[in-house]
Amino acid sequence: MSMYPEYMVAPIREDLTSAGFEQLMSAEEVDQALKSDGTVLVAINSVCGCAASKARPALKMAVSAADKKPAKLVTVFAGMEQDAVAKAREFMLPYPPSSPSIALFKDGELVHMIERYHIEGNELHRIVDNLKGAFDAYC
């Protein structure tokens, strides 16, 4: 069961899908994406203010400005596709559930994690730099 009506989250989803992120809707899609070879950037999207003001803008800025980029960009939406989000969070253990959050995987292994507290209490340019640094190191 979804926490929000689809008409409310549609523009929030589009904020990332229009920037090249694939919206994953099921646990199976998440499993397939995160077990794949190469690098995968996962954004757990949210309706909260820090997702709107920092997480999504940082993701878009980092991906567009980075010389090295993840091979695949995917997103799941907290409060909506609960099975997909739960599966993504399984891959992100031992980190606790957090939304928004951002994770980078390489060959199915979690190599970099940005939790909500790294997002909401931080400046936008620092989040962008954090992501670009992770891209340089792992992509």
Catalytic residues: 48, 50
Neighbours of 112 (CB within 10 A): 18
Query: Counting beta carbons within 10 angstroms of the beta carbon of residue 66, is it exposed (0 to 12), middle (13 to 18) or buried (19 or more)?
Result: middle
Q: ∠ CA 14-24-43 to the nearest 5 degrees? A: 70
C-alpha span between 81 and 77 (Å, rounded): 6
